[in-house]
Amino acid sequence: MTTPSTPKATKAAAKTGAASDVAASYEAALEELEQLVAQLDAGQLPLDQLLSRYRRGAELLAFCRQRLDAVETQIKVLEGAELKPWDAA
């Protein structure tokens, strides 16, 4: 599945709405989110596009947070009989 990168594709993706349709990967979601932030920061969008891109950004942010939480859960090291969060230090 490809991640929408054009304004029309982004708008269409925002309308589809299913959480599994948000992005193909964390990296793709983050890249699209960065593009959306740049567009919003430019301040040149009409109100309806501003709102749709804000909604899309919220979806992407939730997706990224969910993926990070899932990875954090996976990065636990088994120590004895107890799962303990991994300490990288």
Reported pTM: 0.61
What is the three-class DSSP state of 77?
strand
pLDDT band at residue 9 using 50, 70 and 90 as cut-offs: very low
Among the listed residues 52, 67, 2, 54, the one whose alpha carbon sits nearest the alpha carbon of residue 28: 2
Q: Which residue has the tokens 């947070």?
A: 65
Pick the closest to residue 5 from 41, 29, 40 (CA basis). Answer: 29
pLDDT in tens, 24-78: 999 999 999 999 999 999 999 999 999 999 999 999 999 999 999 887 777 755 4
Cα–Cα separations (whole angstroms), residue 84 to 59, 70, 71: 30, 15, 14
How far apart are the C-alpha atoms of 22 and 56, rounded to whole Å? 9
